[in-house]
Structure formats: C-alpha cells, structure tokens
C-alpha cells in the first residue's frame, strides 16, 4: 500500500463534501455556567512477555484528573485543571501536569481543541499502531485537534507536541501527527460495511538543540475494511481485514542515535470479534515484514523495545483477546481483559491480563455573571 499525507487529506475532504450533517456533538451545557469534571482511571496490567521483542513488567496505579469547564457560550468553553499519576509502590506522584484547553464547536458536527486533547485510547487506533500501556504511561497529550462526526464519516486529526525545546537544549523536539477515520459505505438492517483509514507520523528534529542527532521521521498507515453484524445492542459480530505500511521518511545512518533498522515495511492483519452481553472474544492473524511502529505494540514489530541490536524481518503472529465489561458504563466502567500473542515461527507465547476501572463524573457549580450584561 502506498499512501501519502496529501492523499489522506484529499480523500478526507472529497468524502466530507458528500456526507450529510445528521449526527452532531452533544454540547448540552449552558452559556456562562461553570462545571467541575472528575475522571479516574485505575489500572492493573501484568505483562508476561518472554520474547526478544519486549520484556515483561506490571503496571498498577491510578490516574486522577480534575478540571473546571467554563462555557463562554454554547459553542466555546475553556478548561483548566490538573492530572495526577500515582503508581502503587511509589511514594508520591509520578506525574503532576496541568490540563488547559480551549474547545470550540465550529459547526454542529465539527469541533476544534487547542491545548489538552482527547487523546490516547480515544483516538481509536489499533494496538498495532498504539500501545495500550501508553494510556497510563503517556496519558496526557497537548497540541491541536479537529474532530468531525457525521452519520457516514467521522475523523480525528491531531498533533501532539510531545517535547518542546528551547535554544541550546541537549535533546530534540518530538511530536506526533495522527489521523483516524471511519467511512460507512453500506448500512442495512443487520449489516454494516465500514472503511477505516488511519495514519500516524512521528518526528524527532529541530534546529536550535545541541544534541547532534540526525532528524528522524516515520509514517505508518492503516487501511481496513470491516463487516459488522449488529443483531442487537447486546449481540455483535465483526470481521476486519487491514493492510498496513511503514516508511522511514528520514532514516539516519547506523552510527546515529536515531537510526532505524529498516526504512520501509508492511503488515497484514485479519481478525474477528464477537460481543455478547458483557463478554467479548477476539482472534486474529498477523503477518509482516520489516514492520516498525514507534508508538505501537512491539509484539507485532520487527524490532525489540529494549535491545537495539535485535531485529527479525518477518513476523507471523496469532493474537487473541477475551474481556468482560459491565453494561452500565455511563459513570463507572469496569473491564477485565486478557491478551495472547503467539509467535508462530518461534512457537512462543506472550500474554497479559488486566483490570481497569474508569470513572467519569461532572457537577454544576454556578452560573457566572457576564460583565457585559
């Protein structure tokens, strides 16, 4: 598959012109109102990894985010708050970060965010492109984001500026540009056909640092077609085939700290998923050659997360998931999940399991007076 960033945007806007505005973002809060939002994500994830591609470890702790939302009018609000990451077994907080953003509804179906983004798992990237553990290890994303939500097309376009530099800093600037989209091309009583187009670009560079490291830029693309059978809200079946591509757009030489083992590669993934009431299972097959995904799960890649000298061009992987999730998920969401990654060439299996609780609540505080009134 050969995709460029320009072709992604051409595809996006060509489809946008032919879709109808039938689904809008729900901004039901009122002008001049002040709200308090609270989010908790508690996690326990045990990774039993034995392959040369990654090492096992356990993540246990919680994320708490508290923020104030002030609605300037029905189309714009500002958010200010704080993010707290606490690992069990570590005294004090590992991360305390500000959460600041301006959020504007440019039209009923088109939203812009500047500052703290709807990030990590909310982007909807497949784990091949986005490592699940980043949801707690790198939870906060800051930059700019555009979100579109129509009946037949939805997309998320964002830039996450991960590392900012000043003149003379000994490290490079780093940022990610990402895009995810779903296009509904067929809808019947039970059946849906959806095309997914995703892309993620990572970049290390800059001109005012003193690191002496060469520029590195990568591009991963994901083109999938998914058949969904919706028998009821409690009973669903999916099957998806996806073609993935990797490009090292700026690949430094072997003696550079930013050197990439491969400058191009590809992957193919097919999986089926069955959801019934609280339970779900998923089974898939992955094949790839010289595939690298800097923000993705290393079980699918041709390089190791920890050993820079190791590489394996070809991968054949059987992967599966089982999960239990509570049905009442408006405020509290409980998930129990297990994953397996069976390397068909090495005849070796890695696995992980976890418990996750997500709590989200909001409170109306007061009606603010407007000095112009």
| CA–CA gap between residue 78 and residue 113 (Å, rounded) | 10
Q: Is the pLDDT of residue 325 over 70?
A: yes
Yes or no: say if 353 and 337 are a contact pair by the CB < 8 Å rule: yes
Please check whether residue 12 lies inside any domain of the structure.
no
pLDDT at 27: 64
Please check whether residue 270 lies inside any domain of the structure.
yes
Please check whether residue 8 lies inside any domain of the structure.
no
Question: Model confidence over 154-182: pLDDT tens digits?
Answer: 999 999 999 999 999 999 999 999 999 99
Q: Which two tokens stand for residue 116?
A: 């703290």
**Beta-sheet strands, E only, within the chain:** 33-48, 57-73, 76-87, 95-107, 110-116, 142-149, 153-163, 173-187, 191-205, 216-232, 235-250, 264-276, 279-289, 314-325, 332-343, 348-367
| CA–CA gap between residue 66 and residue 79 (Å, rounded) | 10
pLDDT at 3: 45
Q: Token pair 């039209």 is at which residue?
A: 107
pLDDT at 254: 86
Q: Is the pLDDT of residue 305 over 60?
A: yes
Please check whether residue 307 lies inside any domain of the structure.
yes
Yes or no: say if 286 and 315 are a contact pair by the CB < 8 Å rule: yes
Please check whether residue 156 lies inside any domain of the structure.
yes
pLDDT at 76: 92
Q: Which two tokens stand for residue 232?
A: 């009821």
Q: Is the pLDDT of residue 7 over 80?
A: no
Q: Is the pLDDT of residue 120 over 60?
A: yes
Q: Which two tokens stand for residue 173?
A: 């600037």
User: Phi first, then psi: what are they for 337, rounded to 5°?
Assistant: -145, 145
Q: Is the C-alpha dihedral spanning 294, 298, 303, 306 positive or negative?
A: positive
Give per-residue burial for 325-346: e unless 16+ CB within 10 Å, then b. beeeeeeebbbbbebbbbbeee
Yes or no: say if 203 and 214 are a contact pair by the CB < 8 Å rule: no
Closest of 361, 246, 219 to residue 302, by C-alpha:
246
| CA–CA gap between residue 283 and residue 320 (Å, rounded) | 4
By mean pLDDT, which of 3-7, 319-323, 336-340 is the weakest?
Answer: 3-7
| CA–CA gap between residue 145 and residue 101 (Å, rounded) | 11
Q: Token pair 């239990």 is at which residue?
A: 324
The torsion defined by the Cα of 247, 56, 173 and 10, in degrees rounded to 10, comes to 40
**What is the pTM assigned to this prediction?**
0.88
CATH value at residue 161: 2.40.160.10
Q: 85-90 contacts: CB < 8 A, separation 24 or more?
A: 85/61, 85/136, 85/139, 86/61, 86/62, 87/59, 87/60, 87/61, 88/60, 88/61, 89/60, 90/61
pLDDT tier, 23 (very low <50, low <70, confident <90, very high otherwise): very low
**Domain range enclosing 108:** 29-367
| CA–CA gap between residue 264 and residue 290 (Å, rounded) | 7
pLDDT at 371: 54
| CA–CA gap between residue 251 and residue 88 (Å, rounded) | 39
Please check whether residue 299 lies inside any domain of the structure.
yes
Q: Is the pLDDT of residue 323 over 50?
A: yes
How many folded domains does the chain comprise? 1
Please check whether residue 24 lies inside any domain of the structure.
no
pLDDT at 351: 97
| CA–CA gap between residue 7 and residue 342 (Å, rounded) | 35
pLDDT tier, 370 (very low <50, low <70, confident <90, very high otherwise): low
pLDDT at 25: 55
pLDDT at 17: 40
Task: Give the three-class secondary structure for 330.
Answer: coil
pLDDT tier, 329 (very low <50, low <70, confident <90, very high otherwise): low
Question: Model confidence over 183-205: pLDDT tens digits?
Answer: 999 999 899 999 999 999 999 99
Yes or no: say if 150 and 22 are a contact pair by the CB < 8 Å rule: yes
Q: Which two tokens stand for residue 196?
A: 């997914």
Please check whether residue 67 lies inside any domain of the structure.
yes
């Amino acid at each position: 598959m050969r995709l460029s960033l320009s072709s992604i945007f051409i595809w996006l806007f060509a489809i946008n012109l032919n879709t109808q505005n039938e689904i809008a973002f729900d901004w039901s809060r009122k002008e001049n109102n002040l709200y308090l939002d609270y989010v908790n994500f508690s996690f326990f994830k045990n990774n039993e990894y034995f392959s040369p591609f990654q090492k096992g470890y356990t993540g246990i702790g919680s994320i708490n985010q508290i923020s104030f939302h002030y609605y300037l009018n029905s189309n714009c609000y500002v958010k200010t708050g704080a993010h707290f990451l606490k690992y069990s077994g570590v005294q004090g907080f590992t991360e305390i970060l500000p959460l600041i953003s301006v959020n504007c509804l440019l039209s009923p179906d088109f939203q812009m965010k500047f500052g703290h983004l709807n990030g990590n798992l909310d982007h909807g990237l497949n784990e091949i492109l986005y490592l699940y553990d980043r949801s707690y290890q790198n939870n906060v994303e800051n930059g700019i984001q555009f979100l579109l939500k129509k009946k037949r097309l939805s997309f998320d376009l964002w830039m996450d500026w991960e590392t900012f530099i000043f003149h003379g800093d000994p490290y490079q600037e780093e940022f990610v540009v990402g895009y995810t989209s779903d296009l509904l091309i067929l809808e019947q009583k039970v059946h849906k056909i959806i095309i997914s187009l995703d892309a993620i670009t990572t970049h290390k560079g800059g001109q005012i640092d003193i690191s002496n490291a060469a520029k590195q830029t990568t591009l991963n693309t994901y083109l999938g077609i998914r058949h969904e059978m919706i028998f009821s809200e409690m009973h669903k079946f999916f099957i998806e085939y996806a073609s993935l591509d990797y490009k090292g757009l700026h690949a430094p030489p072997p003696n550079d700290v930013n050197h990439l083992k491969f400058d191009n590669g590809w992957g193919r993934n097919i999986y089926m998923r069955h959801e019934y009431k609280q339970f779900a299972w998923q089974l898939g097959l992955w094949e790839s050659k010289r595939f690298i995904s800097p923000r993705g799960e290393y079980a699918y890649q041709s390089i190791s997360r920890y050993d820079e000298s190791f590489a394996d061009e070809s991968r054949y992987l059987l992967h599966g998931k089982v999960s239990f999730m509570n049905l009442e998920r408006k405020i509290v969401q409980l998930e129990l999940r297990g994953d397996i990654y069976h390397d068909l060439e090495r005849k070796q299996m890695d696995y992980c399991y976890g418990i996750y609780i997500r709590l989200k609540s909001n409170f109306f505080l007061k009606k603010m007076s407007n000095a112009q009134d």
